[in-house]
Every structure is written in structure tokens, then in C-alpha cells.
């Protein structure tokens, strides 16, 4: 079985637990997911099965979209509601909308993030959350991410608890920590904050309305209809230009051979090569040699 399943990950499950359940349901070990979701986050989690595991990286490179909520008034160790409270400041007066929007605009575009200590990023071969749980702190690598859109959906001031809730929409590049983004938004507004709710609406080119739950997958397996809900490997490569190979060209590509630009008659820097209607490889133009070389082989027969 080969293909991509756009899974709906429920809140309360880890991404790894989803993969483990699917291995049992599909009776195969060759399964990988595209872009980890924290246990408290729900939404789109593309799952690659069989030969489609070769395109996990290409699914992850696509943009993502989220909707969620920032609660302003206190901070936690994990930047969400799962952690211990480490700071608190009452919001004595409602934060005006124009101030929130201005701060969001300030966080749109190319920005630098430092991954939170409670994350799966590895430093010296160890995950950051392992250091955090041991009470240790380490220098964390900065990363550049792109926030394409950061918009305000609603804002509600809680006069009784002196807190404010901000509902938001974010479209961003891979590697973005939404927890970190919204905590920084709160900081720029002059307060501690936590991400109180998050749902991933889009990932890997899939949207929420395309997803299947674990129960949906189990039922489809039982009725032998799962294949009609799975997407082919080339779905992950749909934004690349494509070219059909002739038989002699395919013989070269089968062995990872280089191809001259004149053979392909294209000016593209990267191109998906097909033979007999099936995706076989992704090639790129090496400017030093002026030859097309394999970036990734997907099939050799």
C-alpha cells in the first residue's frame, strides 16, 4: 500500500501515537508523518504510507495555516496551558484592537524564532523537552521563519479575571512555532501570555475538509475502500513542473544518470520526471556542470 492519508489528529494524542495506531490498522510499519503536532493541537496531519514516505520532506516544505487563541494575563513553562505558571500580570484595561493589529503586523514577514524548551528540536542529540524535564537549559539554535499572514479574528476582554483572549489566523512556513509567535505577540503588547487553543487548518497542501479520522481509516480498511481516500505520491510534488521521459531517457534515469538540458528541452531548475505516467524522480540543474542530476529517486522500475 502506497499513498498519502490526510489525517485529522484529535486533541490529546501525540503525532507518534497516530502513526502507531495506523501501523496497527494498516498492518504496515512503513509509515511517516509530515510535521509534528503537539498533543494539545488538533488538525491536519499528512501521513505517508509505503513508498510515499519518500516525499515526507516535500510535504513538510509546504506552507501551513492555523487558527487559535492567545490568552493574555499569565505565562507558563510550555507556552501553552499544559505548563506551570511562571508569570502573571493583570490586564486592567482592554487592549485596543489597533494596538493588537499593529503588533501582529510587526510579526509578519521574515522573523527569527528561538524554539521553546518544551519542543522536539534536538540539541547535541537530545530533544529540548528532555532537557526541560530534567530542569536543564541549553542554548537553542535560532531559526528564520516566514509569517505570510497573521490576522486578528476577534478580541474579548474578560473584566472579571482581568485577562484578554485574542483569536487569530496564521499562515506560515515550516518550522514555525505558533506558541512562540503568540507569546511574543503578548510580550509586544506588554503582557505575559499563553497559547490557549490551536487547530491546524492546512498542511502539505491538504485542508481540514479533506481529512479522515482514525476511525474513518479503520472503517475504510474494513470495507476495502481506503485506496479511494488516499492521495498518490506525486500529490506532494504537484507544484513542480513535470516532464514525460522517452524510453532511452528513462534507461539513464533508472541508474541515476545525468541528463543534458538539450535532452530535456526545459529551462526549469527542478523538474519531476515521469515515465509511463508514473513519477520516477526529481531532478535539479547543476549549474557547475550544466547537467540535470537526481535530487530524489522515487522508483527505479
pLDDT averaged per 10 residues, the chain (length 301): 94 93 94 88 95 88 92 95 94 97 97 79 78 79 92 97 98 92 97 97 95 96 94 90 92 91 88 92 92 90 79
Domain holding 15: CATH number?
A: 3.30.2350.10
168 - beta bridge partners?
A: 68, 152
CA distance 152 to 89: 22
Number of domains comprising the chain: 3
Among residues 2, 38, 57, 215, which one is catalytic?
Answer: 38
| Pair (34, 89) in one structural domain | no
Of 235, 250, 280, the domain-final residue:
235
Task: Mark whether 92 is an active-site residue.
Answer: no
Burial class (CB in 10 A: 0-12, 13-18, 19+), 215: exposed
| Pair (16, 75) in one structural domain | no
| Pair (73, 189) in one structural domain | yes
Residue 135 confidence (pLDDT): 80
| Pair (278, 217) in one structural domain | no
- φ/ψ of 197, rounded to 5, equals -165, 140
DSSP string, 94-143: PPPHHHHHHHHHHTSEEEEE---SSS--EETTEEHHHHHHTT-------E
| Pair (51, 70) in one structural domain | no
Which has the closest alpha carbon to 198: 84, 31, 71, 48? 71
Which CA distances in Å does 289 have to 39, 250, 280, 283, 292? 47, 20, 22, 14, 8
| Pair (150, 194) in one structural domain | yes
| Pair (81, 188) in one structural domain | yes
| Pair (71, 193) in one structural domain | yes
Write down the pTM of the prediction: 0.88
The parent domain of residue 28 ranges over: 3-62+204-235
Residue 25 confidence (pLDDT): 96
Asked if residues 66 and 45 have their Cβ atoms less than 8 Å apart, the reply is no
Amino acid at each position: 500500500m502506497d499513498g498519502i492519508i490526510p489525517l485529522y489528529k484529535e486533541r490529546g494524542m501525540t503525532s507518534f501515537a497516530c502513526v502507531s495506531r495506523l501501523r496497527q490498522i494498516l498492518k504496515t510499519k512503513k509509515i511517516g508523518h509530515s510535521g509534528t503536532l503537539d498533543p494539545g493541537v488538533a488538525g491536519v496531519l499528512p501521513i505517508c504510507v509505503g513508498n510515499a514516505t519518500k516525499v515526507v520532506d516535500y510535504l513538510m516544505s509546504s506552507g501551513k495555516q492555523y487558527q487559535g487563541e492567545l490568552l493574555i494575563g499569565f505565562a507558563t513553562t510550555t507556552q501553552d496551558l499544559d505548563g506551570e505558571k511562571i508569570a502573571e500580570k493583570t490586564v486592567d484595561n482592554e487592549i485596543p484592537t489597533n494596538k493588537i493589529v499593529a503588533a501582529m503586523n510587526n510579526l509578519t514577514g521574515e522573523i527569527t524564532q528561538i524554539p521553546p524548551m518544551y519542543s522536539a528540536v534536538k540539541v547535541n542529540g537530545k530533544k529540548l523537552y528532555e532537557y526541560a524535564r530534567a530542569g536543564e537549559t541549553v542554548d537553542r539554535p535560532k531559526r528564520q521563519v516566514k509569517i505570510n499572514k497573521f490576522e486578528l479574528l476577534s478580541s474579548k476582554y474578560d473584566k472579571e479575571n482581568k485577562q484578554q483572549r485574542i483569536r487569530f489566523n496564521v499562515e506560515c512556513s515550516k518550522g514555525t512555532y505558533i506558541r512562540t509567535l503568540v507569546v511574543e505577540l503578548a510580550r509586544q503588547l506588554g503582557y505575559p501570555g499563553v497559547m490557549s487553543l490551536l487547530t491546524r487548518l492546512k498542511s502539505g497542501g491538504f485542508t481540514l475538509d479533506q481529512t479522515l479520522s482514525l476511525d474513518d481509516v479503520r472503517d475504510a480498511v474494513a470495507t476495502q475502500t481506503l485506496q479511494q481516500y488516499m492521495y498518490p505520491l506525486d500529490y506532494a510534488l504537484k507544484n513542480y513542473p513535470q516532464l514525460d521521459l522517452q524510453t532511452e531517457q528513462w534507461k539513464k534515469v533508472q541508474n541515476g544518470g545525468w541528463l543534458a538540458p538539450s535532452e530535456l528541452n526545459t529551462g526549469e531548475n527542478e523538474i519531476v520526471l515521469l515515465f509511463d505516467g508514473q513519477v520516477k524522480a526529481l531532478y535539479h540543474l547543476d549549474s557547475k556542470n550544466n547537467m540535470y542530476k537526481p535530487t530524489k529517486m522515487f522508483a527505479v522500475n
